[in-house]
Structure 1
Amino acid sequence: MSEIHFYQEGDGQPLILIHGFCETGEMWREFSAALGSSNSVYAIDLPGFGMSPLDRDRITLEEVAVQIEEWMHDQDIKNPIIIGHSLGGYVALSLLELLGNHIKGIGLFNSTSFADPKEKKAMRNRALLFIEKNGVTKFVDSFVPQLFPENRRKELEEEIQVAVKDAHRSSLNGLMAFTQAMRDRPDRSSILAHFQGKKLMIAGTQDSAVPVEDSRKQKELFTHYHELEGMGHMGMIEEKEKTLNLLQSFLKACEA
């Protein structure tokens, strides 16, 4: 029996929403309520985040995909559409490699199919040292606000505080394990290219974590590519209405 914690809303085509680093399934509450009108929406907590346990300091994205596959079997979820934010997109791609055409559609939300470049790997290593030395609270208090565009942090102050509070539910070993897993993940652009289902990318021109230049290099891999001007890394918060509409349109296209 899988230890993946989740909540479920609605009925219809299965849709799995996977959160990013320093996040939990709670980040999708408003989206899952809206999308649940036409889909059976499952929002999970990845191991080490929220209410899903992780009893070790190392895990690979491939191992996470196997855990989610087992959870899907437990819940009798078949042929889902999978949407992942940031780290969640990397997990979604691992699931795509594992399950192939048993996935109906895939969406990368402020994410990428590319592996980390050398400079990003070095940044992950510095983050590991910081987390180990300073712990969860100090790390997330400095990390989360930087995901939002600097020119909108005052405007989004309340939303940022909610995101920081949610990030405090991250475990120390979860932060350590997934920082290493993200650093060591392979390029999965070829997996994405060979997938015959619908494929969505939502990118932000001000995304500090996934440069828009990288998103543009992958544009041809997607059946649905959307680039939002001025949006940073937290699109579902910064541009809630626009990104929700894009997800709803994509889900309809998957059903067509």
Structure 2
Amino acid sequence: MNQFYTYYKDIKIAYYTFGNPKGKAVVWLHGFLEDSRMWTYLLDQLPQSFRHIFIDLPGFGRSQCIAYVHTMDEMADVVMAVLRELKVRKAAFIGHSMGGYVSLAFGEKYSESVRALCLFHSTAAADSPEKIENRNRGIELAKKNPQLFARTTFQGLFADWAHDLYKNEIEEQTQIAVSTPLQGIVAALEGMKIRPDRTVLLHFAPYQIFHIVGSEDPVFKGHSLDDQLTAPKVKAFVLKAGHMSHIENRKDLLPVLREYFKSL
């Protein structure tokens, strides 16, 4: 991957590119406590005919923080700033967890610039009152010990059986999680808890939406996503995984991604 920087409100934003500069653009957006390095496990399987763009969202990786609260809408504006710098007029999106929230915000605000959207272990629903309270507790815990919060939270995203099978990969990504600055952690939590419900996009968006979920995801338990998976604009895929199928189940994930690329 080639690394670049752009500026948004005088704040440095890091992004990386891979593949054909003249190909159709695919924007990859990482989740909470991650950065663009989460995608390295898939890199050698990506079609080089596309122009892959990996963005470190504000407060993560090599991108700086913007404010005390990073709303999903402002993160979407950051993504647009990168696309404008690259002169990309239309792109497909793959957003993991929080990156899915940002993709949806982008898809609502800049629908004419979206070719397709893939929610990757994410949801179009707003936070429930219980989830908001959990985020508030997380903010307080992070302020006391950000590294412990990051380690505990990140390692809780995997299915129980994955911890032994993928010990090295999990520890590698945990080190990235614990390096997240406190401001980045808090700003993202504050932004996620106030994001609006965007399930209407699953019914009326002017583009197709792939929705990839894990059958053992500790974040979205039981049948909480069933209504989203049967929405008119959605093509759904359920994989044997927790919240992190790019580590837990690449074998079944890669054919889904190939189908997504083929649809573009």
Q: With the length of structure 2 as denominator, give the TM-score of the two structures.
A: 0.91
1:88 has 2:106 as partner: no
Give the counterpart of 1:127 among 128, 134, 138.
Answer: 138
Q: How does 1:146-157 map to 2 (within 5 A)?
A: 146-157=156-167
Gaps of 5+ in 1: none
User: What SS does the corresponding residue of 2:68 show, helix, strand or coil?
Assistant: coil
Give the counterpart of 1:116 among 123, 127, 145.
Answer: 127
**What is the aligned partner in structure 2 of residue 189 from structure 1?**
199
1:164 has 2:174 as partner: yes
TM-superposed CA distance for 1:34, in Å, is: 2.3
- 8 Å contact kept, 1:101–1:195: no
Q: How does 1:1-256 map to 2 (within 5 A)?
A: 1-2=7-8, 3-11=12-20, 12-135=23-146, 137-221=147-231, 222-229=233-240, 231-254=241-264
Whole-Å separation in 2 of the counterparts to 1:227 and 1:247: 13
Cα separation, partners in 2 of 1:212 and 1:236, compared to 1, 3 Å: farther
Which aligned runs of 4 or more in structure 1 are off by greater than 3 angstroms? Answer: none
- 8 Å contact kept, 1:9–1:42: yes
- 8 Å contact kept, 2:30–2:36: yes
Higher helix share: 1
- 8 Å contact kept, 2:211–2:235: yes
User: What SS does the corresponding residue of 1:4 show, helix, strand or coil?
Assistant: strand
Whole-Å separation in 2 of the counterparts to 1:90 and 1:131: 21
What RMSD over aligned residues (CA atoms) do the two structures have, in Å? 1.4
Gaps of 5+ in 2: 1-6
Q: With the length of structure 1 as denominator, give the TM-score of the two structures.
A: 0.94
Whole-Å separation in 1 of the counterparts to 2:168 and 2:41: 16
The C-alpha deviation readout for 1:170-190, integer Å capped at 9, x for no partner, is 111110011111111110011
Whole-Å separation in 2 of the counterparts to 1:169 and 1:51: 11
Calculate percent identity across the aligned residue pairs.
29
- 8 Å contact kept, 1:81–1:106: yes
